[in-house]
Amino acid sequence: MNVAATNLFEIVPLTEHIGVEIRGLDLSKPLDEATKKALHQAWLDHIVLIFRGQNLTQEQHMDATRVFGEPGHVGRPPKYFPEGFNRVLPGIMFISNIRENGEPIGALPDGEMMFHHDMIHHELPHKGTLLYSVEIPSHGGNTLFASGYAAYETMDPEIRARLEGKIAKHHYHYGSVQRGDDKGTEASAASKHPVFRTNEETGRKAVYVNRLMTIGIEGMDDDEAMPLLEYLFDHSEKPEFVYSHEWKVGDLLLWDNRCSTHARTDFPSTERRLMLRTTVRGEVIPY
Protein backbone atom coordinates (compact mmCIF):
# COMPACT_ATOMS: atom_id res chain seq x y z
CA MET A 1 0.00 0.00 0.00
CA ASN A 2 1.29 3.45 -0.78
CA VAL A 3 1.71 6.02 1.93
CA ALA A 4 0.64 9.58 1.26
CA ALA A 5 2.81 11.74 3.43
CA THR A 6 1.72 15.20 4.52
CA ASN A 7 3.85 17.46 6.68
CA LEU A 8 1.39 16.82 9.52
CA PHE A 9 0.78 13.09 9.64
CA GLU A 10 0.82 10.01 7.45
CA ILE A 11 -2.28 8.57 5.79
CA VAL A 12 -1.99 4.82 5.25
CA PRO A 13 -4.80 3.30 3.14
CA LEU A 14 -6.27 0.05 4.50
CA THR A 15 -8.53 -0.99 1.60
CA GLU A 16 -9.39 0.37 -1.82
CA HIS A 17 -12.64 2.06 -0.83
CA ILE A 18 -12.70 2.73 2.89
CA GLY A 19 -10.46 3.22 5.90
CA VAL A 20 -7.05 4.74 6.52
CA GLU A 21 -4.68 4.64 9.43
CA ILE A 22 -3.43 8.01 10.59
CA ARG A 23 0.15 7.73 11.81
CA GLY A 24 2.32 10.20 13.64
CA LEU A 25 -0.27 11.93 15.83
CA ASP A 26 -0.59 11.76 19.60
CA LEU A 27 -4.16 12.88 20.32
CA SER A 28 -3.37 13.52 23.98
CA LYS A 29 -1.48 16.63 22.78
CA PRO A 30 -3.27 19.73 21.46
CA LEU A 31 -3.54 19.86 17.66
CA ASP A 32 -2.96 23.03 15.64
CA GLU A 33 -5.64 24.36 13.29
CA ALA A 34 -3.92 23.14 10.12
CA THR A 35 -3.73 19.60 11.49
CA LYS A 36 -7.40 19.67 12.54
CA LYS A 37 -8.42 20.85 9.10
CA ALA A 38 -6.36 18.16 7.40
CA LEU A 39 -7.82 15.47 9.68
CA HIS A 40 -11.35 16.64 8.94
CA GLN A 41 -10.61 16.44 5.23
CA ALA A 42 -9.06 12.96 5.61
CA TRP A 43 -12.28 11.81 7.32
CA LEU A 44 -14.38 13.14 4.42
CA ASP A 45 -12.07 11.51 1.89
CA HIS A 46 -11.63 8.10 3.54
CA ILE A 47 -14.79 7.61 5.69
CA VAL A 48 -13.01 5.72 8.48
CA LEU A 49 -9.93 7.02 10.35
CA ILE A 50 -7.92 4.85 12.74
CA PHE A 51 -5.43 6.15 15.29
CA ARG A 52 -3.48 3.33 16.95
CA GLY A 53 -1.66 3.37 20.25
CA GLN A 54 -3.48 6.29 21.87
CA ASN A 55 -3.73 6.85 25.60
CA LEU A 56 -6.58 9.29 26.11
CA THR A 57 -8.39 10.83 29.03
CA GLN A 58 -12.10 11.41 28.53
CA GLU A 59 -11.39 15.13 28.01
CA GLN A 60 -8.91 14.30 25.25
CA HIS A 61 -11.44 11.96 23.64
CA MET A 62 -13.95 14.85 23.66
CA ASP A 63 -11.30 17.19 22.16
CA ALA A 64 -10.70 14.68 19.35
CA THR A 65 -14.47 14.53 18.75
CA ARG A 66 -14.65 18.34 18.37
CA VAL A 67 -12.19 18.22 15.45
CA PHE A 68 -15.06 16.80 13.37
CA GLY A 69 -18.02 18.83 14.64
CA GLU A 70 -20.24 19.38 17.65
CA PRO A 71 -20.34 16.45 20.08
CA GLY A 72 -23.73 14.73 20.16
CA HIS A 73 -25.79 14.01 23.25
CA VAL A 74 -25.96 10.56 24.75
CA GLY A 75 -28.66 9.06 26.95
CA ARG A 76 -28.64 8.47 30.66
CA PRO A 77 -25.26 8.28 32.40
CA PRO A 78 -24.19 4.75 33.32
CA LYS A 79 -25.37 3.32 36.65
CA TYR A 80 -22.22 1.33 37.22
CA PHE A 81 -18.62 2.00 36.37
CA PRO A 82 -15.95 -0.50 35.36
CA GLU A 83 -12.64 -0.69 37.19
CA GLY A 84 -10.56 2.40 36.55
CA PHE A 85 -13.56 4.72 36.11
CA ASN A 86 -15.53 6.67 38.67
CA ARG A 87 -17.31 9.06 36.33
CA VAL A 88 -18.14 9.63 32.70
CA LEU A 89 -18.25 12.98 30.90
CA PRO A 90 -21.52 14.09 29.31
CA GLY A 91 -21.24 13.05 25.65
CA ILE A 92 -19.40 9.79 26.39
CA MET A 93 -21.09 6.41 26.66
CA PHE A 94 -19.85 2.90 27.31
CA ILE A 95 -20.20 0.14 24.74
CA SER A 96 -19.57 -2.92 26.86
CA ASN A 97 -20.57 -6.42 27.85
CA ILE A 98 -19.22 -5.97 31.38
CA ARG A 99 -22.00 -6.63 33.88
CA GLU A 100 -22.53 -5.33 37.38
CA ASN A 101 -25.37 -6.75 39.45
CA GLY A 102 -26.41 -8.70 36.36
CA GLU A 103 -26.87 -5.57 34.21
CA PRO A 104 -24.58 -4.50 31.35
CA ILE A 105 -22.80 -1.27 32.27
CA GLY A 106 -22.99 -0.08 28.65
CA ALA A 107 -24.98 -0.27 25.41
CA LEU A 108 -24.74 -2.92 22.65
CA PRO A 109 -23.29 -5.49 25.04
CA ASP A 110 -23.21 -8.86 23.34
CA GLY A 111 -22.00 -10.49 20.18
CA GLU A 112 -22.66 -10.05 16.55
CA MET A 113 -24.45 -7.04 15.02
CA MET A 114 -25.71 -6.68 11.46
CA PHE A 115 -24.72 -3.79 9.20
CA HIS A 116 -26.38 -0.53 10.20
CA HIS A 117 -26.17 3.25 10.25
CA ASP A 118 -26.28 4.54 13.81
CA MET A 119 -29.65 6.01 14.77
CA ILE A 120 -31.10 5.92 11.24
CA HIS A 121 -34.46 5.31 12.90
CA HIS A 122 -34.25 8.90 14.16
CA GLU A 123 -35.14 12.09 12.32
CA LEU A 124 -31.56 13.40 12.45
CA PRO A 125 -28.92 10.69 12.98
CA HIS A 126 -25.50 11.82 14.15
CA LYS A 127 -22.93 12.20 11.39
CA GLY A 128 -19.99 10.51 13.00
CA THR A 129 -19.10 8.09 15.77
CA LEU A 130 -15.79 7.67 17.63
CA LEU A 131 -14.96 4.46 19.49
CA TYR A 132 -11.95 4.18 21.78
CA SER A 133 -10.95 0.73 22.97
CA VAL A 134 -10.12 0.15 26.62
CA GLU A 135 -10.56 -3.62 26.97
CA ILE A 136 -10.90 -6.13 24.15
CA PRO A 137 -11.53 -9.89 23.96
CA SER A 138 -8.74 -12.24 22.89
CA HIS A 139 -10.45 -12.76 19.53
CA GLY A 140 -13.55 -11.67 17.63
CA GLY A 141 -15.49 -8.47 18.13
CA ASN A 142 -14.11 -6.96 14.91
CA THR A 143 -15.95 -3.93 13.62
CA LEU A 144 -16.62 -4.01 9.85
CA PHE A 145 -17.17 -0.90 7.74
CA ALA A 146 -18.74 -0.75 4.29
CA SER A 147 -18.52 2.24 1.95
CA GLY A 148 -21.94 3.49 0.91
CA TYR A 149 -20.30 5.57 -1.83
CA ALA A 150 -18.70 2.50 -3.43
CA ALA A 151 -22.03 0.65 -3.21
CA TYR A 152 -23.87 3.55 -4.88
CA GLU A 153 -21.32 4.02 -7.63
CA THR A 154 -21.06 0.33 -8.59
CA MET A 155 -24.67 -0.83 -8.26
CA ASP A 156 -26.90 -1.97 -11.11
CA PRO A 157 -27.72 1.29 -12.97
CA GLU A 158 -31.30 0.18 -13.71
CA ILE A 159 -32.05 -0.49 -10.06
CA ARG A 160 -30.35 2.79 -9.16
CA ALA A 161 -32.57 4.66 -11.62
CA ARG A 162 -35.67 2.96 -10.18
CA LEU A 163 -34.76 3.94 -6.63
CA GLU A 164 -33.42 7.43 -7.28
CA GLY A 165 -35.49 9.96 -5.32
CA LYS A 166 -37.28 7.27 -3.27
CA ILE A 167 -37.68 7.41 0.49
CA ALA A 168 -36.92 4.44 2.75
CA LYS A 169 -38.58 3.59 6.06
CA HIS A 170 -36.52 2.61 9.08
CA HIS A 171 -37.29 1.15 12.41
CA TYR A 172 -35.39 0.22 15.49
CA HIS A 173 -35.41 -3.58 15.59
CA TYR A 174 -34.95 -5.61 18.68
CA GLY A 175 -35.92 -9.07 19.76
CA SER A 176 -34.29 -12.44 19.94
CA VAL A 177 -31.27 -11.46 17.90
CA GLN A 178 -29.47 -8.31 18.84
CA ARG A 179 -30.70 -6.06 16.12
CA GLY A 180 -30.54 -2.37 16.78
CA ASP A 181 -28.59 0.41 18.26
CA ASP A 182 -28.67 2.46 21.43
CA LYS A 183 -31.11 -0.02 22.84
CA GLY A 184 -33.27 1.38 25.55
CA THR A 185 -33.06 5.06 24.64
CA GLU A 186 -36.01 5.45 22.27
CA ALA A 187 -36.69 1.91 21.22
CA SER A 188 -39.89 2.50 19.28
CA ALA A 189 -38.72 5.42 17.14
CA ALA A 190 -39.18 5.20 13.38
CA SER A 191 -38.07 7.46 10.53
CA LYS A 192 -37.98 8.08 6.78
CA HIS A 193 -34.90 9.12 4.79
CA PRO A 194 -33.75 9.11 1.14
CA VAL A 195 -32.67 5.68 -0.17
CA PHE A 196 -29.58 7.42 -1.54
CA ARG A 197 -28.26 10.13 0.70
CA THR A 198 -26.00 13.01 -0.23
CA ASN A 199 -23.27 13.68 2.29
CA GLU A 200 -23.69 17.41 2.75
CA GLU A 201 -19.96 17.92 3.30
CA THR A 202 -18.69 16.05 0.24
CA GLY A 203 -21.65 16.34 -2.15
CA ARG A 204 -21.28 12.60 -2.89
CA LYS A 205 -24.18 10.15 -2.82
CA ALA A 206 -24.20 6.95 -0.79
CA VAL A 207 -26.56 4.04 -0.28
CA TYR A 208 -28.50 4.95 2.86
CA VAL A 209 -30.41 1.77 3.77
CA ASN A 210 -29.23 -1.10 5.92
CA ARG A 211 -30.12 -4.70 6.73
CA LEU A 212 -30.67 -4.08 10.42
CA MET A 213 -33.10 -1.20 10.39
CA THR A 214 -34.61 -0.55 6.94
CA ILE A 215 -38.11 -2.00 6.64
CA GLY A 216 -39.57 -0.68 3.39
CA ILE A 217 -39.82 2.00 0.73
CA GLU A 218 -42.46 4.68 0.76
CA GLY A 219 -45.14 4.28 -1.90
CA MET A 220 -43.99 0.78 -2.89
CA ASP A 221 -45.54 -2.58 -1.99
CA ASP A 222 -43.30 -4.86 0.00
CA ASP A 223 -43.45 -7.37 -2.88
CA GLU A 224 -41.61 -4.84 -4.99
CA ALA A 225 -39.56 -3.08 -2.30
CA MET A 226 -38.12 -6.01 -0.37
CA PRO A 227 -36.22 -7.67 -3.27
CA LEU A 228 -34.78 -4.26 -4.20
CA LEU A 229 -33.71 -3.69 -0.60
CA GLU A 230 -32.24 -7.21 -0.36
CA TYR A 231 -30.25 -6.47 -3.51
CA LEU A 232 -28.96 -3.25 -1.93
CA PHE A 233 -28.03 -4.97 1.34
CA ASP A 234 -26.19 -7.80 -0.45
CA HIS A 235 -24.44 -5.43 -2.82
CA SER A 236 -23.41 -2.97 -0.07
CA GLU A 237 -21.94 -5.71 2.11
CA LYS A 238 -19.73 -7.25 -0.59
CA PRO A 239 -16.24 -7.92 0.81
CA GLU A 240 -14.61 -5.57 -1.71
CA PHE A 241 -16.38 -2.59 -0.11
CA VAL A 242 -15.59 -3.61 3.47
CA TYR A 243 -12.76 -2.91 5.92
CA SER A 244 -12.61 -5.22 8.95
CA HIS A 245 -11.04 -3.65 12.02
CA GLU A 246 -9.22 -5.93 14.42
CA TRP A 247 -9.06 -4.00 17.67
CA LYS A 248 -6.06 -3.35 19.85
CA VAL A 249 -6.27 -1.54 23.16
CA GLY A 250 -5.70 2.19 22.59
CA ASP A 251 -7.28 2.38 19.13
CA LEU A 252 -9.41 5.44 18.44
CA LEU A 253 -11.59 4.87 15.41
CA LEU A 254 -13.91 7.36 13.75
CA TRP A 255 -16.49 6.68 11.03
CA ASP A 256 -18.68 8.83 8.82
CA ASN A 257 -22.19 7.63 9.57
CA ARG A 258 -23.66 9.40 6.51
CA CYS A 259 -21.91 7.32 3.88
CA SER A 260 -21.04 3.99 5.53
CA THR A 261 -22.54 1.13 7.47
CA HIS A 262 -20.86 -0.93 10.16
CA ALA A 263 -21.32 -4.34 11.74
CA ARG A 264 -19.68 -6.40 14.47
CA THR A 265 -18.49 -9.99 14.52
CA ASP A 266 -19.18 -12.31 17.43
CA PHE A 267 -16.85 -12.57 20.42
CA PRO A 268 -16.68 -14.73 23.55
CA SER A 269 -19.30 -13.72 26.12
CA THR A 270 -16.88 -14.85 28.83
CA GLU A 271 -14.38 -12.11 27.94
CA ARG A 272 -14.64 -8.40 28.68
CA ARG A 273 -14.99 -5.75 25.99
CA LEU A 274 -15.10 -2.04 26.84
CA MET A 275 -15.21 0.89 24.42
CA LEU A 276 -15.82 4.58 25.08
CA ARG A 277 -18.05 6.14 22.48
CA THR A 278 -18.76 9.72 21.41
CA THR A 279 -20.72 11.08 18.46
CA VAL A 280 -20.62 14.09 16.13
CA ARG A 281 -24.03 15.72 15.98
CA GLY A 282 -25.96 15.60 12.70
CA GLU A 283 -27.04 18.90 11.12
CA VAL A 284 -29.13 18.14 8.06
CA ILE A 285 -30.28 15.39 5.71
CA PRO A 286 -30.27 16.83 2.17
CA TYR A 287 -33.20 15.82 -0.05
Residues that bind Mn ion (CB under 5 A): 118, 181
Q: Answer yes or no whether residue 143 interacts with ligand OGA by CB under 6 A.
A: yes
The answer to whether 104 and 274 are in contact (CB under 8 A) is no
Neighbours of 16 (CB within 10 A): 12
Instruction: Tell the burial category of 141 from Cβ atoms under 10 Å away from its Cβ (0-12, 13-18, 19+).
Output: buried
51 vs 255 by CB, closer to Mn ion: 255
Q: Which of 94, 277, 278, 282 touches ligand OGA (CB under 6 A)?
A: 277
**Rounded least distance, CB 51 to Mn ion, Å:** 19
How many chain residues are in contact with ligand OGA, going by CB under 6 A? 12
**Rounded least distance, CB 263 to ligand OGA, Å:** 8
Q: Please calculate the CA angle 118-127-279 and round it to the nearest 5 degrees.
A: 75
Q: Which of 60, 262, 267, 274 touches ligand OGA (CB under 6 A)?
A: 262
Residue 3 — φ and ψ, nearest 5°? -115, 120
Q: Answer yes or no whether residue 264 interacts with ligand OGA by CB under 6 A.
A: yes
60 vs 178 by CB, closer to ligand OGA: 178
Helix (H, G, I), strand (E, B) or coil at 22: strand
Helix (H, G, I), strand (E, B) or coil at 249: coil
C-alpha to C-alpha distance for 90 and 1, rounded to whole angstroms: 39
Q: Answer yes or no whether residue 258 interacts with ligand OGA by CB under 6 A.
A: no
Residue nearest to ligand OGA (CB): 143
60 vs 129 by CB, closer to ligand OGA: 129
Q: Answer yes or no whether residue 92 interacts with ligand OGA by CB under 6 A.
A: no
127 binds, among Mn ion, ligand OGA, none (CB under 5 to 8 A by kind): none
C-alpha to C-alpha distance for 103 and 182, rounded to whole angstroms: 15
63 vs 181 by CB, closer to Mn ion: 181
Q: Please give the C-alpha separations between residue 73 and each of 4, 36, 103, 140, 207, in angstroms, as whole numbers.
A: 35, 22, 22, 29, 26
C-alpha to C-alpha distance for 150 and 236, rounded to whole angstroms: 8
Q: Answer yes or no whether residue 237 interacts with ligand OGA by CB under 6 A.
A: no
Q: In the complex, which residues of this chain contact ligand OGA (CB under 6 A)?
A: 95, 108, 113, 118, 129, 131, 143, 181, 262, 264, 275, 277
